[in-house]
Chain A
Amino acid sequence: AQSVTQLGSHVSVSEGALVLLRCNYSSSVPPYLFWYVQYPNQGLQLLLKYTTGATLVKGINGFEAEFKKSETSFHLTKPSAHMSDAAEYFCAVSERGNNRLAFGKGNQVVVIP
Chain B
Amino acid sequence: EPEVTQTPSHQVTQMGQEVILRCVPISNHLYFYWYRQILGQKVEFLVSFYNNEISEKSEIFDDQFSVERPDGSNFTLKIRSTKLEDSAMYFCASRPSRGTTYEQYFGPGTRLTVT
Q: Chain A residues in contact with chain B, CB under 8 A?
A: 32, 34, 36, 41-46, 49, 51, 90, 92, 94, 96, 98-106
Known: A32-B101, A34-B103, A43-B109. A101 touches B91 (CB 8 A): no
A44 and B106 contact, Cβ closer than 8 Å, known pairs A99-B31, A100-B48, A104-B42: yes
Q: Which residues of A sit under 8 angstroms from B55, Cβ to Cβ?
A: 99
Size bracket of the B interface: 20 to 34
**In this assembly, does B65 line the interface, its C-beta being within 8 Å of a C-beta of chain A?**
no
Residue ranges of B at the interface with A (Cβ–Cβ < 8 Å):
3-4, 6, 9, 31, 33, 35, 41-45, 48, 50, 55-56, 58, 91, 93, 101-109
Specify which of A49, A102, A105 is in contact with B101 (CB 8 Å cutoff). Answer: A49
Contact in complex: B42, A103 (CB < 8 Å): yes
